[in-house]
């Protein structure tokens, strides 16, 4: 366990030390169990955390770039891993300490650890696959502990995204990178519960409120609202799912042309759109917003 020396108590913030089988907080003396190779560092239910928020209206400004270059990562992929986010990781120098924020079944672990040669730490609130059980609102890590954080469809499950993103920003090193995906036009998830599905503006506001700089913002490839309605279980019938999948393909195919009937009269029929216009329109109908952010050095 390479991460024993960056642990801190999720309740009182003091260092956590000792052997991995007998970890104890140096402040409140709480002990943290190791079960089947997994550390339980979840915060006490009775505890609380605070975050200072600006009351000013959002000044969310989208970064000018669209998706960063893809293709730097050439290794295998798994069902819930994203090649572009692995490429972002692959383009960084050196051996990095990587936090998988809400890792679920930890599908990024072999790719980050074995394919890219970084140190990996997956956290989640429950499940058998995380290295550490932790609450994203009160992370059990010292400040500036990680070089890089990745996430896949976690933000919507958090009850207080402002607090959780501020915590993530705290544990990133200056110059560290936070890259991932957040549900936007996906249906509510009854099995794991979802609380907030932020729009692109909401994502930018959350990240910048936490002191992070947004370096990229784009619609996840192949995952429009039609894809999410077709794929995610719900009361939508088979024939409707079939239509939704084809609508999604059609939208992407014609989306580079101005096809709205009102444009015929204006002479804009079949006018090719500018890349920025296409990007904004795709972000308006995306199932998940992908982002790239960094902590100023």
Which residues sit at the interface with Zn ion, rule CB under 5 A? Answer: 9, 11-12, 14, 25, 27-28
DSSP, collapsed to helix, strand or coil, labels residue 254 as helix
The residue among 17 and 255 lying less far from Zn ion, judged by its C-beta, is 17
Contacts 24+ apart (CB under 8 A), 120-128: 121/2, 121/3, 121/97, 121/146, 123/99, 125/42, 128/36, 128/38
The residue among 10 and 161 lying less far from Zn ion, judged by its C-beta, is 10
| 12-42 CB burial, b ≥16 within 10 A, e <16 | eeeebeeeeeebbbeeeebebeeeeebbebb
**In whole angstroms, how close is the CB of 38 to Zn ion at the nearest point?**
20
The residue among 18 and 27 lying less far from Zn ion, judged by its C-beta, is 27
DSSP, collapsed to helix, strand or coil, labels residue 141 as strand
Instruction: Provide the 8-state DSSP code for 15.
Output: B
- CA–CA dist 278, 257 (Å, integer): 9
Residue with tokens 């600006």: 54
The residue among 25 and 289 lying less far from Zn ion, judged by its C-beta, is 25
The residue among 10 and 102 lying less far from Zn ion, judged by its C-beta, is 10
DSSP, collapsed to helix, strand or coil, labels residue 115 as helix
């Amino acid at each position: 366990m390479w991460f024993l020396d960056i642990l801190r108590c999720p309740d009182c913030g003091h260092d956590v030390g000792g052997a991995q089988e007998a970890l104890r907080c140096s402040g409140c003396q709480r002990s943290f169990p190791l079960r089947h190779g997994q550390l339980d560092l979840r915060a006490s239910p009775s505890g609380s955390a605070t975050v200072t928020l600006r009351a000013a209206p959002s000044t969310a400004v989208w970064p000018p770039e669209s998706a960063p270059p893809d293709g730097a990562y050439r290794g295998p992929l798994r069902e819930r891993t994203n090649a572009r986010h692995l490429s972002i990781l692959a383009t960084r120098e050196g051996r990095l300490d990587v936090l998988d924020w809400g890792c679920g079944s930890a599908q990024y672990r072999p790719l980050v650890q074995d394919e890219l040669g970084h140190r990996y730490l997956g956290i989640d609130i429950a499940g058998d696959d995380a290295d550490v059980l932790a609450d994203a609102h009160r992370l059990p890590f010292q400040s500036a502990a990680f070089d890089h954080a990745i996430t896949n469809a976690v933000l919507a499950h958090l009850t207080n995204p402002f607090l959780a993103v501020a915590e993530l920003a705290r544990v990133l090193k200056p110059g560290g990178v936070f890259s991932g995906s957040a549900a936007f036009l996906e249906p509510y998830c009854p099995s794991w519960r979802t609380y907030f599905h932020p729009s692109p503006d909401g994502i930018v506001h959350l990240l910048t409120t936490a002191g992070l700089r947004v370096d990229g913002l784009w619609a996840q490839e192949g995952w429009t609202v039609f894809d999410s309605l077709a794929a995610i279980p719900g009361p939508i019938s088979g024939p409707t799912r079939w239509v939704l999948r084809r609508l999604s393909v059609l939208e992407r195919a014609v989306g580079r042309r101005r096809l709205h009937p009102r444009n015929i009269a204006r002479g804009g029929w079949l006018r090719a759109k500018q890349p920025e216009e296409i990007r904004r329109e795709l972000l308006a109908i995306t199932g998940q917003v992908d982002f790239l952010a960094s902590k100023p050095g």
